[in-house]
């Protein structure tokens, strides 16, 4: 196509905010191959056209400009600008990302960008849907699409739905971001309070709700790490707001219950655990659900109580530092916000609005990478946590039923023969979800994650590993390891000559060891694990038990997070129905 300047490539429209007068967009400039990478400008551009460098002329770009001009002119003057902006937005995205201009390439990625912009309130979901509709019609007219391209942007409005809840993947992503943001704010508050305790002056960014400063944060999403600088602001309020949402996850309490929870209602029980008065009616007793609370009378570990104790310690530290500067906490509420507006300085009840969390300083990298992480919604977190709790009864790492009772009720009704381990399993199941949820990934990606942890995840098709009695694989053709040499030396001293190594308690330390991603192997491994747990009464309190058996169980649990969760569920179901493998119906 011959490139020449012509008024035929003027698009006239009714401009916005100029009293309805005519506005001109000059698509002659599409002769410049860089045109689509720049913002759409208004006005006649003939002088700029004449100065386009020769090496910037592009006939394909100019042809696209002609096609777009003809298409837009089919609309009335009053409706052209909205359509032009939507299509230009898409074409500019294609140019920036290296997709072929005017083709269907990049539509899905553009929709992901729009969705992230919906979450951060750049657009409403209806606006994004309308933009996609306009682009679809343009691509259909160019023969690039056969029918309307559809995409759902409505997740952004979940906070307003009565039965709002996330999908499993959305829940994983939202919690992962939420936990990491909260940890970043917590780390900064701890840093500031330590400096103040060392004699430094009260940092202005602790009390100034308008100052923004940047700290590094890393997200690990589906095996890919994203490290970027997050803009921190209004430290105390944002920290409490993030903690408030995490507290919903751990307790499944409503927003109103938590905002009304008083600091005076938190106390330490006789076991040294953290509890609250019966604040949450019949739904949440003593923070037992999801691991808030602790007891030394039962041996279990839960991430919830560690998180909550960290929150209480951080809260106490910054309040003490503020008090030394004359700023006294006058709010009785556990979760509060700090206000510093003119002459008004002090604390009050935490607002339930989460709008400030969607500040671009938090989300810019997520938008840039087109990662679809849903907005934080207290209602959706609560509903999704309830749904998770209902479904975890089938989880192979959870031996409890619904957790809606006091600890004594757990012991009486839900222990299923293993009181000591049930809440530890509960925590492990939660940790699997919060740390990224590898179960939905193909085995190749899970193997990459395993390698970073120093774990060998073995495909069922890999014949270089043979299965041991406990289901773990051993790569026999590798060089002899220390664990093997120690075993054979011990056997020889006792007058035995074994053909193969059978030191199964040392396997996890051995370089030849791998976990085989196959149901039959997982059944034997779960049986081995269960044998250790059910025999804990025989080694509890001994050095052997604490140094060896506990490490074995923890090592197995870590590996179970990497296997195919459907196979793991089937293996656990077999244990539930048939009991452990005959090999492990023993005491150790």
Cβ pair 525, 578 in contact under 8 A: no
329: DSSP letter = -
**pTM for this entry:** 0.48
Cα(196)–Cα(126) distance, rounded to whole angstroms?
Answer: 49
Q: Under a CB-based contact definition with an 8 Å cutoff, are residues 228 and 177 in contact?
A: no
C-alpha distance from residue 501 to each of 299, 475, 482, 498, 529 (Å): 33, 12, 11, 7, 20
> In this predicted structure, what is the pLDDT of residue 342?
62
* CA-only gyration radius of the chain, Å: 30
266 phi, psi to nearest 5 deg = -95, 130
Residue 29 has pLDDT above 80, yes or no: yes
Summarize pLDDT for 520-549 with one digit per residue, the tens.
999 899 888 877 766 654 555 566 665 677
Contact 521, 465 (CB under 8 A): no
Q: At what angle do helices 422-434 and 168-197 cross, to 10 degrees?
A: 90
Closest CA to 76 of 86, 67, 84: 84
pLDDT at 283 over 90: no
- Distance (Å, rounded) from C-alpha 518 to C-alpha 16? 63
**DSSP conformation letters of 510-541:** STTEEEE-SHHHHHHHHHHHHHHHHTHHHHTT
Describe the crossing of helices 519-534 and 565-578 by its angle, rounded to 10 degrees. Answer: 50
Per 3-state DSSP, the chain is made up of helix, strand and coil in percentages (nearest 5) of 55, 10, 35
pLDDT higher than threshold 60 for residue 583: yes
Confidence of residue 183 (pLDDT cuts 50, 70, 90): very high
How far is Cα 434 from Cα 426, in angstroms, rounded to an integer?
13
**Both tokens assigned to 514:** 């791998």
Percent of the chain with pLDDT over 70: 76
End-to-end CA distance of the chain: 83
In angstroms, the CA 529 to CA 508 distance is 13
Structure tokens at 132: 């996609």
List the single range of 4-13, 266-275, 430-439 with lowest mean pLDDT: 430-439
- pLDDT over threshold 60, residue 265: yes
More confident residue, 345 or 189: 189
Grouping H, G, I as helix, E, B as strand and the rest as coil, residue 496 is: coil
How does the average pLDDT of the chain come out, rounded?
Answer: 76
Could you give the CA distance from residue 460 to residue 472 in angstroms, rounded to a whole number?
12
Q: Is the pLDDT of residue 160 over 70?
A: no
The whole-number pLDDT of residue 319 equals 93
Between the alpha carbon of residue 12 and those of residues 70, 72, 468, the distances in Å are 12, 9, 77
pLDDT of residue 70: 92
| Residue 226 φ/ψ, nearest 5 degrees | -125, 110
Strand partners, 132: none
SS3 of residue 195 by DSSP: helix
Predicted local distance difference test score (pLDDT) of residue 439: 43
Task: State yes or no: pLDDT of 109 exceeds 60.
Answer: yes
pLDDT at 72: 92
């Amino acid at each position: 196509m011959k490139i020449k300047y012509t008024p035929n490539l003027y698009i006239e429209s009714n401009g916005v905010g100029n009293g309805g007068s005519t506005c001109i967009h000059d698509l002659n400039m599409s002769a410049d191959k860089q045109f689509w990478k720049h913002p759409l400008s208004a006005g006649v551009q003939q002088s700029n056209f004449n100065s386009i460098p020769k090496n910037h002329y592009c006939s394909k770009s100019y042809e696209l400009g002609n096609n777009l001009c003809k298409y837009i002119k089919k609309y009335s003057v009053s409706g052209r600008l909205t359509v032009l902006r939507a299509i230009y937005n898409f074409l500019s995205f294609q140019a920036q990302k290296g997709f072929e201009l005017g083709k269907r390439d990049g539509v899905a990625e553009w929709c992901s960008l729009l969705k992230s912009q919906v979450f951060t309130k750049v657009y409403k979901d209806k606006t994004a849907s309308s933009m996609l509709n306009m682009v679809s019609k343009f691509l259909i007219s160019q023969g690039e699409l056969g029918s309307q391209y559809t995409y759902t942007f409505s997740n952004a409005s979940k906070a307003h739905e009565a039965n709002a809840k996330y999908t499993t993947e959305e829940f994983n992503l939202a919690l992962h971001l939420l936990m990491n943001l909260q940890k970043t704010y917590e780390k900064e508050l701890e840093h500031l309070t330590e400096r103040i305790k060392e004699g430094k002056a009260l940092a202005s960014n602790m009390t100034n709700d308008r100052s923004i400063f940047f700290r590094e944060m890393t997200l690990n999403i589906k095996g890919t790490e994203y490290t970027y600088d997050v803009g921190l602001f209004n430290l105390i309020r944002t920290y409490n707001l993030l903690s408030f949402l995490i507290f919903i996850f751990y307790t499944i309490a409503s927003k109103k219950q938590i905002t009304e929870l008083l600091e005076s209602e938190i106390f330490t029980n006789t076991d040294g655990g953290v509890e609250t008065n019966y604040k949450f009616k019949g739904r949440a007793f003593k923070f037992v659900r999801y691991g808030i609370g602790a007891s030394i009378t039962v041996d279990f570990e839960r991430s919830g109580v560690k998180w909550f104790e960290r929150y209480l310690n951080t809260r106490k530290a910054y309040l003490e530092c503020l008090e030394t500067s004359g700023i006294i906490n006058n709010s009785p509420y556990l979760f509060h916000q700090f206000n510093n507006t003119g002459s008004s300085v002090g604390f009050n009840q935490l607002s339930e609005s989460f709008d400030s969390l969607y500040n671009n300083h938090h989300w810019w990298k997520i938008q840039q990478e087109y990662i679809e992480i849903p907005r934080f919604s207290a209602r959706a977190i609560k509903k999704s946590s309830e749904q998770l709790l209902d479904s975890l009864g089938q989880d192979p790492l959870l031996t409890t039923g619904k957790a809606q009772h006091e600890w004594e009720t757990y012991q009486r009704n839900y222990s299923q023969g293993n009181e000591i381990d049930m809440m530890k399993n509960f925590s492990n199941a939660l940790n699997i979800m919060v740390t990224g949820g590898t179960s939905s990934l193909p085995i190749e990606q899970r193997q990459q994650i395993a390698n970073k942890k120093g774990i060998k995840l073995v495909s069922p098709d890999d014949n270089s590993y043979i299965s041991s009695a406990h289901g773990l694989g051993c790569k026999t053709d590798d060089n002899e390891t220390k664990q093997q040499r120690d075993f054979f030396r011990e056997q020889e001293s006792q007058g035995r000559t074994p053909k193969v190594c059978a030191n199964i308690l040392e396997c996890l330390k051995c370089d030849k060891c791998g976990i085989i991603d196959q149901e039959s192997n997982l059944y034997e491994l779960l049986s081995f694990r269960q044998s250790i747990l059910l025999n804990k009464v025989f080694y509890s309190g001994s050095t052997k038990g604490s140094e060896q058996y506990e490490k074995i169980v923890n090592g197995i649990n870590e590996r179970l997070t990497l296997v195919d969760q459907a196979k793991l569920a089937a293996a656990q179901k077999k244990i539930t129905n048939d009991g452990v493998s005959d090999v492990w119906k023993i005491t150790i």
